[in-house]
Amino acid sequence: MNQKSEANVSSAKRSLALSFYTFLSRILGLVRDHFMAVSFGTGMVASAFSVAYRLPNMFRNLLAEGTLSQSFMPIFSEYEAMGKEEAKVMAGTVLSFLFLCLSLFVAFFWLFASDFLPALVGGSREYGELVVELSLVLFFLIMTASLSSIFMSISNSHHKYFVPSLSPIILNFSYLIVFIFAFPFLKELREKVFILAYGIVAGGVLQLIVQAVYVYKLGYGPVFKLNYKHPAIRKIFKLMLPAALGGSFYQIGLLVDIFLANYIQNANPGLGAVVSLDYSQRLVQLPTGIIGVALATTILPSLLKDLRAGEKEKVPKEILDVLCFGLFLTLPASIGLSILGETVLDAIYFGGKWDAIATKTAYLPLVFYSFAIPFYSTNKVLVSSYYAFQDTKTPLRVQFVSFFTSIGMSLALMAFLKHGAIALSSAIAASLTSVLLVFLLSRHSVSIPWKSLAFRVGKMILPLVGLVLWLFLGEILLKPFWMDWGKENYGLGHANLSRVSLVISIGPAIVIYFLLAGISRLSEADIVLGKLLRKLRRS
C-alpha cells in the first residue's frame, strides 16, 4: 500500500487492527484475573492489593493512556512539520523534564504514604499496613508507564500501532509468569502478593525498554536535553494541566469509589465490596479498552491531519463514523454483559477462593457498569476530538460536573444499593459526560449530523433485537438444561460448565448479530466483515 492510500484509510478501519491487538491483551487480562480470583478471592489480601494497585493505576490511566499522550501528540506533530531533528529534540526535552518530575513525585509518595493511606482505607491496622507496603512497591509503575506513553505516542503519530499495543500484553505476561512459575512454590498469601507486586514492576520496566527501542529503530529516537525553557515544555503543560485536572476527576472518582467501597466493606463484614467492584470494572474495561481506546487512539492523528490540511469540514463526518462504529461494537457488549453477567463471572473467576457468594456480590455492580459501556467508549473518542483542537478546558468542565454528580449519587444511594450504588452512579455520570461533550463540540464549529446519526443507529435495532432474544433464550432455557445435563453425564465442575454455557450463548449471538447487520446493510458491519472476507480470499 503506498503512502497516499495508507493516509486515506479511515480511523474506524485503522482501529480494527489496534482493537485486535488490544483484544489479545484483554484476553490475557482475563486469564490474569482468573488466577487473581482463585489465588486471593475477595479477602483482606485481595482488597489490599486492589487498593494499592489502584493508586499507580489511576496515574497510569491519567498520564499514560490519556492526558499526557494526547497532549504530547499534537505538539510533536507541529515540531515534526518543522523538521525531524526538531521533533527528536522536543521529545527528548519532554522526557527529561518528565523523568525529573516523576522522580520527585514517587519520592514524595514513598516518604508520606504511611502517614495518610491507613486513614484513607480504614479497617484494621494489619490491613492498613499491608496497603502501604504494597503501594510502596507498585507506585514505581507510574514512572515506567508515563515514560512509555511518550514513546508510544511517537509511534502512534506515524500510525504504528502494533508495538505500542504490546505494552499491556507485556504487563499481563509478567503477572502470568509469577502465577505459573512462582506461586506453586509459595504457601503464604502475603508472600505471594509481594512476589506478584515485584513481578509487575519488572514487567513495567520491560514495557519501557521495548517501546524505547522501537522508537529508536523508527529513526525518531529522542535527543535528551534538560532544557526547562524549551517552548514545548510550557505548551504541553499548558494543554496538559486542564486535561490532567479533567482526567483526574474521573480517576480520582475511581479512587473515591474504592474508598467508599472500603467504608461499605468495613460496615458489612464479609461483603467483599472492594474486590467485587474491581473485578466488575475490569470486565467492563474489556470492551471499553478494545473498542474505545482503539478508536480514540486512531481518530486523533486523523483529525490532526484534517486540521493541518485546512479540511475542517471533514471533521464532523470523521467523528460521526467513529461514534457509529463504536456504538455498533459496544451496544452488543453492553447487552451481553448485562444478560450473561453471572455466567461470565463464574466462567472467569469461579474456583479456589472465589465462590458463589463472590459471584452474587459482583453481579449487580457488573450490570450497572455494563449499561455505561457505550458511553465510556464514546467519551474517549469525544475527548480525543477536543484535544485535536488543543481544547483541554471543555472536557475539564464537563468532567468536573460528572465527578460531583457521581459522588453525590453514590452517597445518596449507598444505604439502599450498598456497593451497587457506586457502579450505578458511575454509569449515570458517564452518560452525562457523553451528552455534554457532544453538544459542546459546537464551540469549535463542529455540528454532529443528528439525522445521519439517528438513521444509522436506527438500522442497528434489528440486529440488537435478534441478539437480545437469543441471549435470553440461552440464559433462561439452555443454560439450566446444559448445566444439569453436563454435570450428570460428564461430571464437569461449575466453572467449566459456565464456560461451555457462555460459548453456547455468545457464539450464535455473534453470528445472528452480524447476519442481521448485513441484512440491514450496516456500513459498520461491512468494515468488519469486508476485512475478514478479503483476508479469507487472500488466504
357-401: per-residue pLDDT in tens? 889 999 999 999 999 999 988 888 888 788 778 787 888 888 889
165 touches 18 (CB < 8 A): yes
Question: What is the span of the domain harbouring residue 188?
Answer: 1-252
Bridge partners (DSSP) listed for residue 354 = 351
Q: For 107-142, how does the pLDDT look when each residue is reduced to its tens digit (9 = 90+)?
A: 999 998 888 888 877 777 888 899 999 999 999 998
Q: For 266-325, how does the pLDDT look when each residue is reduced to its tens digit (9 = 90+)?
A: 788 777 788 888 889 888 888 887 776 666 656 656 666 666 666 677 778 878 888 888
Q: What is the DSSP letter of 249?
A: H
Rg (CA), the chain: 23
**Alpha-carbon span 499 to 484, nearest angstrom:** 14
Residue 422 lies in a domain: no
Taking residues 512-519, report their average pLDDT: 91
Q: pLDDT averaged over the chain?
A: 83
Which residues, other chains included, contact 198 with Cβ-Cβ below 8 Å and sequence gap of 6+?
137
Residue 453 lies in a domain: no
Residue 42 lies in a domain: yes
**In total, how many domains does the chain have?**
1
More confident residue, 244 or 433: 433
Confidence of residue 13 (pLDDT cuts 50, 70, 90): low
Which residues, other chains included, contact 507 with Cβ-Cβ below 8 Å and sequence gap of 6+?
none
Confidence of residue 253 (pLDDT cuts 50, 70, 90): confident
Angle between helices 231-267 and 420-440 in degrees, nearest 10? 150
Bridge partners (DSSP) listed for residue 351 = 354
Winning range, highest mean pLDDT, from 293-307, 455-469, 483-497: 455-469
Which residues, other chains included, contact 427 with Cβ-Cβ below 8 Å and sequence gap of 6+?
368, 369, 371, 372, 375
Residue 247 lies in a domain: yes
Residue 29 lies in a domain: yes
Grid coordinates of 146: 508515563
Of residues 433, 311, 449, 444, the one with CA closest to residue 383: 433
**Alpha-carbon span 323 to 330, nearest angstrom:** 10
350 touches 495 (CB < 8 A): yes
Residue 428 lies in a domain: no
For 351, phi and psi rounded to 5 degrees?
Answer: 125, 160
Determine how many CB atoms are found less than 10 A away from the CB of residue 277.
28
Confidence of residue 334 (pLDDT cuts 50, 70, 90): very high
114 touches 135 (CB < 8 A): no
Residue 508 lies in a domain: no
Residue 156 lies in a domain: yes
Of residues 11, 68, 8, the one with CA closest to residue 292: 11
Confidence of residue 2 (pLDDT cuts 50, 70, 90): very low
